[in-house]
A and B are shown apart, each in its own frame.
Chain A
Amino acid sequence: MREISSATREAAEDIFFGQLVLILARWSLILAAAAHVLWGASDQATLLVAMLPLVVLMALNFYVHGRYLTERPVNPAFLMTASVLDLAFVTAMIVLGPGPRGFGSPLFILYYPLLLAAAFVYPRWFTGACLLAGMAGYIGACLATAAPFLEDGRQLEVLVQRLTVGAAMAGLGTYYWRIQRRRRAAVAGMNGRSQVHAQKRAS
């Protein structure tokens, strides 16, 4: 029972301390998406419509970042929802543009920092869910716009390559997260042992 509560506490601490990575990943996403929209929009209406969700995402990240800086961070459920929204935002930009859509869109790489940040911060089940959601979203986005890659072996290869690197980002992030968790546990163990020795010497 104590073990379960300790694991739960550790997961909550991972999110508490690691949320800065999520915030920075979202700022990077906003920067890249803003550059893409400003560069790629061909008319005023497209530019204005494309900027709207971006402004919403910025407001969301201002809120999360502000709460973090004032030492009143948002709760894990809110952060997880925001991460899902990030992935949905990238998928929507791939489907809707501006610029090339679907398989031809260069924006699929924006999944990578998001998946990496999720792997560093969230429990494994949620990282896995984000990875699956991102992959499904990207395949869906390619299928929704056009599906030439199903007939073209070269494009299918590229699609699998992109998905493989996405999985590698999440996998390597989780691997490093596990290494860090072991290091912290080792430090805490050493700390506990030295406290016991100190108490023995004092008595």
Chain B
Amino acid sequence: MSAESTRTPEDLTYGQSVIVAARWILVLAGLGFAAWNPGPVWELRLEIALLLGLAAANFHVHARLLAQGPLPPRVAYAASVVDIAVVTLVVLAQRGPASEIYVFYFPAILALSVAFPGDVTATFTAVTAILYALVSPPASAGDVEALMSRLLALGAVALCGYTYRRIEQDRRVTAREPALGAGGDSRAVR
């Protein structure tokens, strides 16, 4: 079993509180911005239904996290899929490239990058980028450029979150094994 896989369950435990916090931000900010200059009634109805559903699910996750500990990894991954899907659906409902809601991908990707293993984070980031490019197809050269910047920044957020998580893992290992850590280079991020 690799070091990565042995460390992951503990990271998932602590990382889930960041995911829950990010989801609360998505719900509260989403409701606030949905009410500010609302679009057509069907769009508003869809946004409110999605956000209330997400709030109910997050309440369950939050309560469970406080009372019984974290969700199993598969359920946590599924919950993050729902987060990304909700943002994507709202982008789609707001006519893709015209929508500004894509900024909410950033907190979601940040949260999962500090909670999930590297390969899962990479998969989530790639799928999110592809989904966003599909629902928001560029119509002009300027749109291509904007899309490129957004996807690069999304990747940068995932990379920063993942790298920081690995640095902290190494620091904890060094703190647990002072005799080994004294001679080791704990800055190395593999």
In contact, B103 and A157 (Cβ under 8 angstroms):
no
B153: A residues at CB distance < 8 A: 28, 32, 109-110, 112-113
Contact pattern, A 166-183, Cβ under 8 Å of B = 1, otherwise 0: 001101110110011001
In contact, B25 and A24 (Cβ under 8 angstroms):
no
The residue from B142, B150, B178 contacting A99, defined by CB atoms under 8 A apart: B142
Contact pattern, A 97-116, Cβ under 8 Å of B = 1, otherwise 0: 00110000011011011001
In contact, B37 and A157 (Cβ under 8 angstroms):
yes
In contact, B175 and A165 (Cβ under 8 angstroms):
no
In contact, B175 and A154 (Cβ under 8 angstroms):
no
A161 contacts the other chain (CB 8 A): yes
Our count of residue pairs bridging A and B at CB distance below 8 angstroms stands at 148
Contact pattern, A 47-66, Cβ under 8 Å of B = 1, otherwise 0: 00000000000000000000
In contact, A17 and B186 (Cβ under 8 angstroms):
yes
In contact, A169 and B164 (Cβ under 8 angstroms):
no
Give the secondary structure class of A's interface: helix
Q: How far is the CA of A31 from the CA of B36 in the complex (A)?
A: 35
Known contacts A21-B163, A31-B152, A168-B107: A36-B145 contact under CB 8 Å: yes
The residue from A40, A117, A157, A190 contacting B160, defined by CB atoms under 8 A apart: A117
Q: How far is the CA of A109 from the CA of B150 in the complex (A)?
A: 7
Please give 18 more A-B residue pairs, beta carbons under 8 A apart, in addition to A35-B148, A120-B164. Answer: A17-B187, A31-B152, A99-B142, A110-B149, A110-B153, A113-B157, A116-B110, A158-B100, A165-B29, A168-B107, A169-B157, A175-B21, A176-B15, A179-B18, A180-B168, A183-B14, A184-B168, A191-B178
